[in-house]
Amino acid sequence: MKNYPTPHINATPDDFAKTVLMPGDPLRSKFIAENFLEDAKLVNNVRGIQGYTGFYNGTKVSVMASGMGIPSIGIYSYELFNFFDVDNIIRIGSAGSINMDVKVRDLVFAMGASTNSDYARQFQLPGTFAPIADYTLLKTAINQADSVGANYHVGNILSSDTFYNAQEDFNERWIKMGLLCIEMETAALYMNAAKARKHALGLFTISDHILTGESLSAELRQNSFTEMMEVALKTAVEMDNL
């Protein structure tokens, strides 16, 4: 019995590639489709969550937005993994650095994703689940970052449920644990991938530095994000060839 279309994705499995790049912003999906993919077609636009499929260097690749936050990416990644036969999801997003060694415009690969979310509670595990990246995706993406000469960091990040946190020392407590940056989606993506026996990776461009107050202008943000997009697309091609 088919499980598609869903209330959130009006498509079929054939509409998607095996690897989906997943920015938070639907307009970033559109930007990638228009500037990097050949023969890109809009395959989903339910609730304005734009999804496209096209070709990059001859390889079929999809890009679809997740929206903001763990509940939103939890829905879209679950459906792609379980209903649309997607094998790999690479989250490509922005993040705020909480580490003085992680600079604005640097790339960050989330080897692990700590979180203050209760998303894992649904699995009723007799302990604490550690959301981690797929090793093959991580290794492949790092190799691609090396090939383009990117400045990057690999380690633990925070997927926060709260953008505005009422706890005044919230950031400081995570800083003491050596985390690299904060974003709002990756932990749920990693959990969904683990449950579905699929593959996921969180890749970020540092758009602002929470400790110094530095942030990217609109022009620099676009240029820096382009490097991240290129790394993710090259990774998608390599994964298709494995």
Structure tokens belonging to residue 170: 């919230």
Exposure string of 134-171, with b = 16+ CB inside 10 Å and e = fewer, is: beebbebbbebbeeeebebbbebbbbbbeeeeeeeeeb
In 10 A of CB 219, how many CB atoms?
Answer: 8
The one-letter amino acid at 34: E
Residue found by looking up tokens 């974003």 in the block: 183
Enumerate residues 6+ apart whose C-beta is below 8 A from 225: 28, 92, 94, 205
Enumerate residues 6+ apart whose C-beta is below 8 A from 79: 6, 8, 9
Instruction: Return phi, psi of residue 110, to 5°.
Output: -85, 95
CB 214 within 8 A of CB 104: yes
Beta strands in the chain (DSSP E): 19-22, 38-44, 51-56, 59-64, 88-97, 107-115, 152-159, 181-183, 199-209
Q: What does the chain come to in residues?
A: 242
Q: Annotated catalytic sites, by residue?
A: 208
